[in-house]
Amino acid sequence: MSEIFRIIVCIKQVPGTTEIKINPETNTLVREGVETIINPFDSYAIEEGVRIKERFVSTGSSADDIEVVALTMGPPQAESMLREAISLGADRAVLLSDRVFAGADTWATALTLKHAIKKFEKYNIIIFGKQTLDGDTGQVGPELAHMLHIPFIGYASSIEEIDNRKMTVKRLAEDRYETFEIRLPAAISVGKDINVPRVPSLRGKLRAKNEKIPVWSASELDMDENHAGLSGSYTQVIKIFTPKHLYEVKMMEGGPDEQVEELFGKLKEINVL
Amino acid sequence: MEIKVDHSTCTGCSLCRNVCMYDAIEIIEGKAIINENCVFCGACIDACKFKSIEITGIAQTHEDFSAYNGVMVFIEQHDGIIADVGYELLSEGRKLADILKTALYGILLGHNLNENIGGIFDYGIDRLYIADNEIFKNNLDDVYSKLLVQAINKYKPDIFLGGATSFGRTLLPKVAAIIKTGLTADCTSLSIDEDKNILLQTRPTFGGNILATIITRNARPQMATVRPHVMEKCPVAKTEINEQIKNNHEIKKEKDFYKKYEDRIEFMDFDEGSFKTKYKLLSQEKETGQSINLTDYDVIVSGGRGIGGPDNFSLIKELADALGGVVGASRAAVDSNWISYPHQVGQTGKTVNPKIYIACGISGAIQHLAGMQTSDIIIAINKDPDAPIFKIANYGIVGDLFEIVPRLIKRIKSGKNI
Amino acid sequence: MHYFLTEEQQMIVDICRQIVKERIIPARAELDEKGIFPKEIIDEIAKSDLFRLFVPEEYGGMGTGIFEVCLATEELSRGCLSVATTYAASGLGFIPIIVMGNEEQKQKYLPALAEGSKLAAFGLTEPEAGSDAAAIRTKAVKDGDFYILNGTKQWITNGGEADVYTIFAVTNPDKGARGVSALIVEKGTPGFEFGKKENKLGIRASATRELIFTDCRVPAENRLGSEGMGFITAMRTFDQSRPAVGAQGVGVAQAALEVALDYSKVRKQFGAAISSFQAIQHMLADMATQVEAARALVYHAAKVMDSGEKNVAKLSAMSKLFASDVAMKVTIDAIQILGGYGYMKEYPVEKMMRDAKITQIYEGTNQIQRNVIALELIKRGVF
């Protein structure tokens, strides 16, 4: 193919949940120097983007004609995650960062991404992780796909075939695999079953260190501030709280024999046997 | 829009900093300072004992939503079989409708529907909108969303719910994007603020570490997807049909089967020719082989890191078999390739709520708990008395699972004392 | 501990640690038990550019030095010595091309080897020629534009898995060590076959095979350097590669120390963690001191060599000798600290001990290293 084939991977920086613990005394969150990480599912999205590029290259396309772009909306600190995306094989990255983007729900996020994606003269595939670790919604992908009027396939487990006009995608929906053919441009979201993300390469890391990452603000996206961030959101968080556990645990005491006997009694009591 | 700390009342106590997930609050010279990492989640506002923090400047709209009434449930079906979450949502929808003193609607799209859908009428539904057409044979989000949007615009429900299934989580965002309204994903609890008559949508975030209650503030309907297997199915014997909708129905197409429910059914009008899909469904296959559906079982016996290796899962299998259950696993066990992914329970695996969940050698990482803590009865077997799993278990055994489980299997099989 | 690494060196360490954590540790016990060649892990190592560390920039490498190779080897050895051996042995196989190859040979072979899409192997050892490398019998007889190769190489790491082999063969039987030449032989050349995979005490996942040559016609243009330069090629290659064997020792010893330390803190006997007992504390202290000393010697040797110093045989031999002896001692002590558990396959230290043994044997036994060191001492003095 002679004209550029662009794969845009939408990723998000999230707090690593391993750092989040609950203080059992007060039942409140204990935050110990939040470490931010690339949203785990988004690593699979980046990997799939890079693999699509490698597929085209292995069938004779020039690597220069296929571009993998990592895109995120977030605070300035998200830049480090975009560098990680480059070390994992993305060709370049763009950061959407502006105070007015803060507090966006999935709708406002999708709208902001749409404005950004429209700035690229062309895009062929948009890839998302199936959900984020913090928000956990998986809604931005389908909302954005609608805004761009392109098809969306969630939870893709493999891209069976792809050329520059269409692709065949297999996905697992509860108890069945479904295989679809869709025309490009199109969007997909991916889960962990689609690939095994690579370890960053040394050359990728060196390139990531030196790459210039452009930052686009609301004005560069031609966005009405009232449509961005919390102002542009239809939903609003009104309360955040930690789950309370209602029951007391009954511990089985004694040696293994006594413990098993007591448990056996309970199982009988609750009619499992 | 701005988030402000009133430094005249702020004591620098750092309660707000401790709850902030985004590293957005620093205590400088005894006062809380909020930096650019803030995403306006509001956690600090709830945590502050001095009411020093507030968010200002949110554009408030005071639209009149009085035209929107009733609770509408999207009832998902595959090949004419209603997904369980449909019944769960109707049960929940009935409760919400009762509080709001309004009607419960169902909306069902499919092809060649038959008496398999009869169960819908056991859940106190006032009216079921049906579209039975070949274009709805496969669950495709573009054709489905088109008709759902038409229905929402026409019938103006105040609340619209769907299952947080693979399909629901693709379809409802599309519908919300077209209607231009909010959508809250994967709720685990719904309630009504009776002062304002608005829907309070509660959902876990951070893998169940925290719960967030969300409202839809300036658009209708209030839309939410609801996590399957969380709401209880409660059939009701309802004979009265809601007053408001009693007089305006007619049945447009006839099928003998529908006669029985004719006062509760309305077939939707739509222009068949205008429904085009961008998706070409090439094939569908039931997941087999490694496929197991954990949610089909009443008993799940799960193994984690404490199992030690793939071979020892045979022990877990034996216990599961003895109890007529199925084998589950923690992410640690799956990531170590001891057992395949469909067995994984937790945030990145399946969410389950069996009658009995037995966790063997699972410490209970929060991500695992997120997937099983609504189980009716949780039994935990672990060497470490401080393992978090014991915090949510009903029954706990501190001990070596390799001593406990074989004895338990023997005990169950023999039925006699040890 | 701060080792004053540059940003790029730290990147190498980070990449290797991620490979160890995500790919090697979850797989190593099974690979060892079943003797499975770690193909997927090697592919990952290749994709991460680690083979490029050996190769100059103009041939697709990173233009880094022996120190960087040692860092990567040490970290990979912390995960599994079979993997590290496979990695280092490919380097060993193509270092002769770097040190002796002509421009065409470098252009032809190095880019794919740097990329890791092909592996190399080093073919010197024979049934009758171990430490006495001059005793090799494999013959290469000139026939027009070809050499006719006959003979058998034994215990060749990456044998069968590698695509490119550096084979040392006698081209002039009258000249002894000076009659040996080095030839590049590609897998698939008619007359080149492999024996069965050896069943070994340690590094069981690495491939060790016989190479069998029967009237194998090798183009004369595949000869490295002039005829008779083979022995010098081998010695110069070893000078370059020995610190990496030392790094293997440091890595496996470090891994065993980590397991022993963690275990000592959680294992309770007589009502207390065993790390509170002085007997254990002193063992841990000695182990840590030895590992640190070995690391210092390996890093020093590598840096001296990277500085361009030519007289490196002694230091290079010392780093291999000392670090491999430390590896053996520390892994044995780690088992002792774990007691019965350490003897069982549920814990990784017994594997580390089995693996560590080879570092005292291959690429010149530690006895040969002592010979080299003593000879250099006597010849050149202490400094």
Q: Are strands B31-34 and B25-28 parallel, antiparallel or unpaired?
A: antiparallel
Q: Which chains touch B (3 or more CB pairs under 8 A)?
A: A, C
Model confidence at C383: pLDDT above 80: no
We report the CATH number of the domain holding residue B184 as 3.40.50.620
Sorted by sequence, the CB contacts under 8 Å of residue B345 that are 6+ apart come out as: B294, B300, B302, B328, B329, B330, B351, B352, B368, B371, B372
Q: Residue type for C367, please?
A: Q
Establish if A71 belongs to a structural domain.
yes
Average pLDDT over residues C35-62: 96
Least confident piece of the model among A149-153, B194-198, C289-293, C359-363:
B194-198
Q: Which long-range contacts (CB under 8 A, 24 or more apart) does B405-408 make?
A: B405/B315, B405/B316, B405/B319, B405/B360, B405/B381, B406/B315, B407/A256, B407/A257, B407/A260, B408/A260, B408/A263, B408/A264, B408/B319
Q: How confident is the model at residue B20 (pLDDT cuts 50, 70, 90)?
A: confident
Establish if B236 belongs to a structural domain.
yes
Tell me the two tokens of residue C247: 């790094």
- Residue B46 and residue B79 share a domain: no
The Cα-based distances of A86 to A93, A207, B249, C239 in angstroms read 7, 7, 59, 37
| Chain C residue nearest residue A206, CA to CA | C8
Q: How confident is the model at residue B348 (pLDDT cuts 50, 70, 90)?
A: confident
The Cα-based distances of C336 to C260, C290, C330 in angstroms read 9, 16, 10
Q: Is-contact B212 A240, C-beta < 8 A?
A: yes
Is C227 considered catalytic here? no
Residue B238's pLDDT is 63
Instruction: Give me the percent of chain B exceeding a pLDDT of 90.
Output: 41
Nearest-CB residue to C18 (from A199, A203, A209): A199
Tell me the two tokens of residue B100: 């709001």
We report the CATH number of the domain holding residue C16 as 1.10.540.10
- Residue C246 and residue C213 share a domain: no
Closest CA to B187 of B159, B157, B163, B218: B163
Q: Are strands B183-187 and B53-56 parallel, antiparallel or unpaired?
A: unpaired
Of the residues C86, C102, C118, the one at which a domain ends: C118
- Residue C355 and residue C249 share a domain: yes
Measured distance CA(C223)–CA(C220) in Å, rounded? 6
Tell me the two tokens of residue C329: 């001692």
Chain B nearest C-alpha distance from C221 (Å): 48
- Residue B79 and residue B50 share a domain: no
Establish if A265 belongs to a structural domain.
no
Tell me if chain A has a CB within 8 Å of the CB of C87: no
Residue C331's pLDDT is 98
B417 sits in which H/E element: none
- Residue B306 and residue B188 share a domain: no
Q: Residue type for B72, please?
A: M
- Residue B246 and residue B175 share a domain: yes
Domain count, chain B: 3
Q: What is the DSSP string of chain A?
A: --S-EEEEEE--EEE-GGGEEEETTTTEEEE-SPPEEE-HHHHHHHHHHHHHHHHHHHTT--GGGEEEEEEEES-GGGHHHHHHHHHTT-SEEEEE--GGGTT--HHHHHHHHHHHHHHSS--SEEEEESS-SSS----HHHHHHHHTT--EEEEEEEEEEE-SSEEEEEEEETTEEEEEEEESSEEEEE-GGG--PPPPPHHHHHHHHH----EE-TTTTT--GGGSTTTT-SEEEEEEEPPPP----EEEPSSHHHHHHHHHHHHHHTT--
Question: For C77-97, how does the pLDDT look when each residue is reduced to its tens digit (9 = 90+)?
Answer: 999 999 999 999 999 999 999
- Residue B40 and residue B6 share a domain: yes
| Chain A residue nearest residue C68, CA to CA | A202
Q: Is-contact C251 C83, C-beta < 8 A?
A: no
Measured distance CA(B346)–CA(B342) in Å, rounded? 11
| Chain C residue nearest residue B336, CA to CA | C26
Measured distance CA(B261)–CA(B122) in Å, rounded? 11
Establish if A87 belongs to a structural domain.
yes
- Residue C300 and residue C184 share a domain: no
Average pLDDT over residues C8-27: 95
* Chain B 181-220, residues with CB within 8 Å of chain A CB atoms: 181-186, 200-201, 203-219
We report the CATH number of the domain holding residue A35 as 3.40.50.620
B43 vs B72: which has the higher pLDDT = B72
Average pLDDT over residues C282-307: 97
DSSP state of B168: H
Tell me if chain C has a CB within 8 Å of the CB of A114: no
Measured distance CA(C291)–CA(B174) in Å, rounded? 60
Q: How confident is the model at residue B263 (pLDDT cuts 50, 70, 90)?
A: confident
Q: Is-contact C92 C113, C-beta < 8 A?
A: no
- Residue C376 and residue C242 share a domain: yes
Tell me the two tokens of residue A52: 């699509």
Establish if B317 belongs to a structural domain.
yes
Question: For B282-299, how does the pLDDT look when each residue is reduced to its tens digit (9 = 90+)?
Answer: 988 876 555 677 877 889
Closest CA to B203 of C234, A146, A238: A238
Establish if B370 belongs to a structural domain.
yes
Residue B114's pLDDT is 83
We report the CATH number of the domain holding residue B329 as 3.40.50.1220
Tell me if chain C has a CB within 8 Å of the CB of A80: no
Sorted by sequence, the CB contacts under 8 Å of residue A255 that are 6+ apart come out as: none
Q: Which domain, by its residues, includes B86? A: 71-271
Q: Is-contact B178 A146, C-beta < 8 A?
A: yes
Chain A nearest C-alpha distance from C270 (Å): 20
Establish if A38 belongs to a structural domain.
yes
Residue B290's pLDDT is 53
Neighbours of C144 (CB within 10 A): 8
Q: Which domain, by its residues, includes C373? A: 231-380
Of the residues C228, C243, C261, the one at which a domain ends: C228
Measured distance CA(A118)–CA(C345) in Å, rounded? 57
Domain count, chain C: 3
- Cβ neighbours of A208 in C, within 8 Å: none
Query: Are A257 and B418 an interchain contact pair (Cβ–Cβ within 8 Å)?
Result: yes
Tens digit of each residue's pLDDT, chain A (273 residues): 458 999 999 999 987 754 455 555 554 555 555 678 899 899 999 999 999 999 999 998 899 999 999 999 999 989 999 999 999 999 999 999 998 998 888 999 999 999 999 999 899 999 999 988 777 789 999 999 999 999 999 999 999 999 989 999 999 887 788 999 999 999 999 988 899 999 999 999 999 999 999 999 999 999 988 888 888 889 888 877 776 654 567 888 888 888 998 888 888 777 666
Model confidence at C51: pLDDT above 90: yes
Q: Is-contact A42 A22, C-beta < 8 A?
A: no
Query: Are A133 and B207 an interchain contact pair (Cβ–Cβ within 8 Å)?
Result: yes
Establish if A269 belongs to a structural domain.
no
pLDDT averaged over every residue in chain B: 85
| CA dihedral over C94, C100, C104, C105, signed as positive or negative | negative
Neighbours of A151 (CB within 10 A): 24
Sorted by sequence, the CB contacts under 8 Å of residue A137 that are 6+ apart come out as: A106, A131, B185, B186
Sorted by sequence, the CB contacts under 8 Å of residue A31 that are 6+ apart come out as: A19, A20, B17, B18, B19, B20, B21, B23
- Residue B403 and residue B301 share a domain: yes
Establish if B61 belongs to a structural domain.
no
Neighbours of C138 (CB within 10 A): 21
Residue B245's pLDDT is 52
Residue C129's pLDDT is 86
- Residue B120 and residue B21 share a domain: no
- Residue B82 and residue B25 share a domain: no
- Cβ neighbours of A177 in B, within 8 Å: 283-287
Q: How confident is the model at residue B70 (pLDDT cuts 50, 70, 90)?
A: very high
Q: Is-contact C253 C294, C-beta < 8 A?
A: yes
We report the CATH number of the domain holding residue B27 as 3.30.70.20
Q: Which domain, by its residues, includes A194? A: 5-227
We report the CATH number of the domain holding residue C184 as 2.40.110.10
Catalytic residue among C44, C68, C161, C363: C363
- Residue C364 and residue C245 share a domain: yes
Q: How confident is the model at residue B418 (pLDDT cuts 50, 70, 90)?
A: very low
C381 vs C256: which has the higher pLDDT = C256
- Burial string for B129-161 (b: 16+ CB within 10 Å, else e) reads bbbbbebbbbbbbbbbbbbbbbbbeebbbbbbb
We report the CATH number of the domain holding residue C255 as 1.20.140.10
Model confidence at B62: pLDDT above 70: no
Chain A nearest C-alpha distance from C184 (Å): 29
Tell me if chain B has a CB within 8 Å of the CB of A246: no
Q: Find where tokens 């969007």 sit.
A: A187
Instruction: Please provide the distance, in angstroms rounded to a whole number, between the alpha carbons at the two ends of chain A.
Output: 65
DSSP SS3 for C125: coil
Least confident piece of the model among A100-104, A120-124, B56-60, C1-5:
B56-60
Q: What is the DSSP string of A229-259?
A: TTTT-SEEEEEEEPPPP----EEEPSSHHHH
- Residue B358 and residue B247 share a domain: no
- Residue B228 and residue B109 share a domain: yes
Q: Is-contact B390 B380, C-beta < 8 A?
A: yes
Domain count, chain A: 1
Tell me the β-bridge partners of C37.
none
Establish if A271 belongs to a structural domain.
no
Question: For C191-222, how does the pLDDT look when each residue is reduced to its tens digit (9 = 90+)?
Answer: 999 998 999 999 999 999 999 999 999 999 99
| Chain A residue nearest residue C64, CA to CA | A202
Least confident piece of the model among A39-43, B203-207, C14-18, C307-311:
B203-207
Measured distance CA(C243)–CA(C364) in Å, rounded? 12
Number of H helices, E strands in chain B: 11, 22
Establish if C2 belongs to a structural domain.
no
Q: Which chains touch A (3 or more CB pairs under 8 A)?
A: B, C
Best mutation target among A26, A73, A166, A174 (most B Cβ atoms within 10 Å) is A174
Establish if A148 belongs to a structural domain.
yes
C135 vs C285: which has the higher pLDDT = C285
- Cβ neighbours of B220 in A, within 8 Å: none
Tell me if chain A has a CB within 8 Å of the CB of C74: no
Establish if A213 belongs to a structural domain.
yes
Judging by beta carbons within 10 Å of its beta carbon (0-12, 13-18, 19+), is residue A222 exposed, middle or buried?
exposed
